[in-house]
Amino acid sequence: MTLAQRWQRASPVQRVFIAPGAFLALIAVLIVGLVTIELIAAPAIFQRAEALNDAQKPSAELVQRGEYLAKVGNCAACHTARGGQPFAGGKAIHTPFGAVYTSNITPDTTHGIGRWSAQAFYRAMHEGRSADGRLLTPAFPYPNYTHVSREDSDALYAYFMHGVPSVAQPNRAHELGFPYNTQLALAVWRLLFFDKAQPNNAPEIVAAPAIFQGSGGLKDMQNAALTARGEYLVRGLGHCSACHAQRNALGATINDQLLSGALMPMQDWYAPSLMDPRQAGVMHWPTQDVVALLKTGVAPNASMAGPMAEVVSKSTQYWSDADLQATAAYLQSLPQTTAPARDKPRVNPQFYARGEQLFAKHCASCHGTQGEGAKVEGSVALPALAGNRAVTMPTAANLVRILLAGGYAPSTAGNPRPFGMPPFVHVLNDEDIAAVTTYIRAAWGNQADAVSAADVLQHRKGLLP
């Protein structure tokens, strides 16, 4: 439990019983002590003088396993800059506190991690400390990777040391504002919001012997094992909570298991709730549709867009079928937040009629006059808008974003040539966009609130540099 959580859980009586002055002093002393420990307990003992030599080469299987896990963890999404060498870092991650630049994690002995031991690598993943003891910023999702097992960390290490070419590219200094650029601030942040996980083993999916199949108890055990594996992937390497969980003002996820949806910091995209069937919850879907969505980026009535399309194209499309089944099992086991019953929203009929006209002119040729979408060669090529949660979600941020900027579903082996959605930023004005979104949110049985031109303007501002 983090310090912030302990404080929240302390009974109100305990919290108010001490005089405020004494209490603050006590807290101050405690914090100074703990922060000091955090800052000085950082031995830089994990560096080797030499790079690894060939005699220490791990097995090809281990390197291969590490390569797979690097895809699962989507390391390349952050550590490979656009047009840059694989894993040489230098990509800016924009946070509300300034820009953080990713590190060179190739085996280069000067600029990369070529002198790191497996222990140092595990410490970075598990505790968010660099080999020299420096505290790392949580823009590196170690609050998730802390759940990764030592065994998986070692496989990743084997891959980065032996499967990735070294690149002599220096690291770039972060551009964080004061005080966020200090180790002291990080120490305090970690004290409040970061708890390293208990070292654990990765749950594996064990196939039940054929003779036992069908027997109730064993099936349950198998399902439990599947869900546990899914949880391990979603919480750990998959770092789904990095986008799908809410953050507090200091950028910490409030609870990484509460995947209740969040506006992504610095990007005008909303990562919908995985616990709400009206948003991104998949508890009522056939399992194979969940697997298809993560593997190919499309499923009946859904298609991945924006930052999620990137997650699919760089990561989940490569997950093994067993791991996708496990992830689906976990996502389907998430507690469901019950949506309150609601009245049919009232829509201004003139606005609706204007939206209907615009839809017929600009959209129906692709999405169908009834918003039914279209399949090409058996797979979803043009998403249906009727009954599509991306259209009816309470937050219209993604919808406006897609209309303004267009986009592609991810290109995957299962859907190699996705059709594109053209941008309408220069075709339709804010009023038009508001009318057409209002229309698609209320037509064909869809029931979602109207969108105003002011809403659109707000998202447009997020879009233009």
Binding to ligand HEC in span 401-430, by CB under 6 A? 402-403, 407-409, 419-422, 424
| Alpha-carbon Rg for the chain in angstroms | 24
- Shortest distance in whole angstroms from residue 21 CB to ligand HEC: 36
- Residue found under tokens 């003779």: 211
Q: Which of 81, 161, 225, 242 binds ligand HEC (CB under 6 A)?
A: 242
Piece of 56-64, 196-204, 236-244, 334-342 that binds ligand HEC (CB under 6 A): 236-244
Smallest gap from Cβ 364 to ligand HEC, in A, equals 8
Name the residue with tokens 């896990």.
69
Binder among 93, 205, 425, 453 for ligand HEC (CB under 6 A): 93
Size of the site for ligand HEC (CB under 6 A): 75
On whether the CB atoms of residues 240 and 246 are closer than 8 A, the answer is no
Tokens of residue 183, six digits: 């180790």
Query: Which of 35, 58, 63, 73 lies at the binding interface for ligand HEC (CB under 6 A)?
Result: 73
- Between residues 16 and 199, which has the closer beta carbon with respect to ligand HEC? 199
* Nearest distance in Å: CB 195, ligand HEC: 18
Tokens of 199: 């070292």
Residues in 437-456 at the binding interface with ligand HEC, rule: CB under 6 A: 440
Output the smallest distance, CB 13 to ligand HEC, in A: 40
- Whether the Cβ atoms of residue 406 and residue 423 lie closer than 8 Å to each other: yes
Residues 248-307 that bind ligand HEC (CB under 6 A): 269, 271-272, 274, 280, 282, 293, 302-307
Q: How far is the CB of 227 from ligand HEC (least distance, A)?
A: 14
Smallest gap from Cβ 2 to ligand HEC, in A, equals 19
Within 128-187, the residues that bind ligand HEC by CB under 6 A are 130, 136-137, 139-141, 156
CB of 173 to ligand HEC, least distance (A): 9
**Do residues 367 and 380 lie in contact, with contact meaning Cβ atoms separated by under 8 Å?**
no
Q: CB-wise, 81 or 385, nearer to ligand HEC?
A: 385
Interface pick for ligand HEC out of 245, 399, 404, 442 (rule CB under 6 A): 399
**Residue 99 interacting with ligand HEC (CB under 6 A):** no
**Minimum distance between the CB of residue 449 and ligand HEC, rounded to whole angstroms?**
15
- Mark 188-227 with x for binding to ligand HEC (rule: CB under 6 A) and - for no binding: ----------------------------------------
Nearer to ligand HEC, 10 or 428 (CB): 428
Query: φ and ψ at 212, to 5 degrees?
Result: -90, -10
Sign of the CA dihedral with 348 first, then 350, 352, and 355 last: negative
> Which pairs from 381-388 meet CB under 8 Å and 24+ separation?
381/418, 381/419, 382/419, 383/298, 383/301, 383/302, 383/303, 383/409, 384/300, 384/301, 385/440, 385/444, 385/446, 386/443, 386/444, 386/445, 386/446, 387/301, 387/444, 387/445, 387/446, 388/301, 388/302, 388/446
Q: How far is the CB of 171 from ligand HEC (least distance, A)?
A: 7
- For residue 338, the one-letter residue type is T
Nearer to ligand HEC, 209 or 362 (CB): 362
Q: Which of residues 358-397 bind ligand HEC (CB under 6 A)?
A: 362-363, 365-367, 382-383, 385, 388-391
Of 105 and 225, CB closest to ligand HEC: 105
Q: Is 118 in the site for ligand HEC (CB under 6 A)?
A: no
Residue 316 binds to ligand HEC (criterion: CB under 6 A): yes
Give whichever of 79 and 460 is closer to ligand HEC, judged by the CB atom: 79
